[in-house]
Amino acid sequence: MADWIFDANGNATIILDNDCFRDNYGRVIAWIDGNNVYSLNGYHIGWFEKGILYDSNNDVLGFLRNRTGHLPSIPGIGGTPGMPGFSGKPGKPGRSGTPGRPGYGGWSNENLRTYFE
């Protein structure tokens, strides 16, 4: 089942769809393999764990409404838009190695809406 990921301001920004993330137009923007997140080109770009999406520095990019992981602060959550139609999934690329994971940080300086571009 697909669900919205909220950014640091509580805005529904991207969509979790089983083994991938999608933008607000329904296009695949990243792959999930275990708790690792990979770009469409196969590069490791973060982690997804306990409903929390982390960037490559292990800082929080976004979260699910029903997350069980810890947030540095909890923003108010806005309404959720309707789900867009989903495009087909592209083939999964070969994936790069997984780097060591740094300690947990605070909120990311990256923008969730543009992080995967």
**Residue the block writes with tokens 């190695």:** 97
Rounded Cα distance between 78 and 61, Å, is: 16
Q: Record the tokens describing residue 111, joined without a space.
A: 């923008």
Rounded Cα distance between 22 and 85, Å, is: 11
Residue pair 81/11 in contact (Cβ under 8 Å)? The answer is: no
Quote the mean pLDDT of the chain: 94
pTM equals 0.92
Residue 61: per-residue pLDDT: 97
Task: Report domain extents, the chain.
Answer: 1-117
Rounded Cα distance between 94 and 66, Å, is: 31
Q: Record the tokens describing residue 103, joined without a space.
A: 């300690």
Rounded Cα distance between 108 and 61, Å, is: 5
Rounded Cα distance between 46 and 65, Å, is: 19
Q: At 97, is the pLDDT very low, low, confident or very high (cuts 50, 70, 90)?
A: confident
Q: At 28, is the pLDDT very low, low, confident or very high (cuts 50, 70, 90)?
A: very high
- 3-state class (DSSP) for residue 101: coil
Classify residue 30 by its DSSP letter: E
